[in-house]
């Protein structure tokens, strides 16, 4: 196990719940002195206490170990409001419908913050019947390539995994698409927003609007 709960995390989470050391101790059936020792760095809770400790602090065990208190604010599961996570070791791509604690290959993954498409990552979308033909003029070599393209609506996500020596292009159904994404293996995640009026009438947009920094 690479990470273990620290006293600072326990103290912060306990105070956020407006609990005293004694109140926390009573909930997990240990002494107040034990909680005090944990919070001052003089000891660690036994691994068998992690689950009741997390429950008392109203978070998951993985959140307790990571020191993060994640609250998913996208409870309606609008896919357009979700987040991408990419593992730098194996390249695994994970899409969530809200905030989460994601770990892969022993690494805690941060959510990717999409940037507006710049001159080196221009996302083009041409209409072909009921699809967007999405492409980028971008290097596709081993150490610098577009790893995936994605189209996201409020209901679904379509993702196409790409590889070096291939083409940076993919096709997606137009219906209800709100955002188009491109992930560069070197520079990160980029996206453009599809014009709302075009989505509402179910046709292709006259133009694609770049998003401001998020």
* Residue 196: pLDDT band with limits 50, 70, 90: low
| C-alpha–C-alpha distance, residues 9 and 14, integer Å | 8
Residue 180: inside a domain: yes
pLDDT tens track for 106-161: 777 888 999 999 999 999 999 988 999 999 999 999 989 999 999 999 889 999 99
For 47: left if phi > 0, alpha if psi spans -120 to 50, otherwise beta; the answer is alpha
- Tell me the CATH number at 133: 2.60.40.730
User: Is 0.85 topped by the overall pTM?
Assistant: no
CA angle 113, 86, 179 (to 5 degrees): 50
Most confident region among 10-14, 58-62, 87-91, 188-192 by mean pLDDT: 188-192
When divided into structural domains, the chain yields a total of 2
Residue 27: inside a domain: yes
Same domain, 125 and 56: no
Which of the listed residues 29, 45, 66 is the one where a domain comes to its end?
Answer: 66
Residue 109: inside a domain: no
Domain interval for residue 184: 114-210
């Amino acid at each position: 196990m690479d990470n273990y709960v620290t006293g600072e995390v326990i103290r912060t989470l306990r105070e956020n719940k407006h609990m005293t050391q004694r109140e926390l101790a009573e909930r997990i059936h240990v002494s107040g002195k034990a909680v005090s020792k944990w919070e001052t760095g003089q000891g660690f809770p036994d691994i068998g206490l992690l689950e009741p400790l997390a429950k008392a602090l109203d978070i998951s065990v993985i959140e307790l170990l990571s020191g993060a208190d994640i609250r998913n604010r996208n409870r309606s599961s609008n896919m357009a409001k979700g987040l991408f996570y990419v593992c730098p070791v194996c390249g695994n791509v994970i899409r969530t419908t809200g905030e989460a604690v994601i770990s892969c290959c022993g690494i805690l993954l941060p959510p990717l913050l999409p940037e507006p498409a710049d001159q080196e990552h221009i996302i083009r979308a041409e209409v072909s019947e009921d699809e967007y033909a999405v492409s980028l003029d971008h290097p596709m070599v081993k150490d610098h390539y577009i790893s995936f393209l994605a189209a996201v609506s409020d209901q679904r996500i379509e993702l196409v995994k790409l590889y070096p020596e291939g083409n940076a292009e993919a096709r997606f159904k137009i219906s209800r698409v709100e955002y188009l994404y491109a992930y560069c293996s070197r520079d990160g995640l980029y996206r453009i927003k599809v014009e709302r009026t075009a989505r509402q009438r179910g046709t292709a947009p006259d133009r694609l609007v770049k998003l401001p920094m998020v």
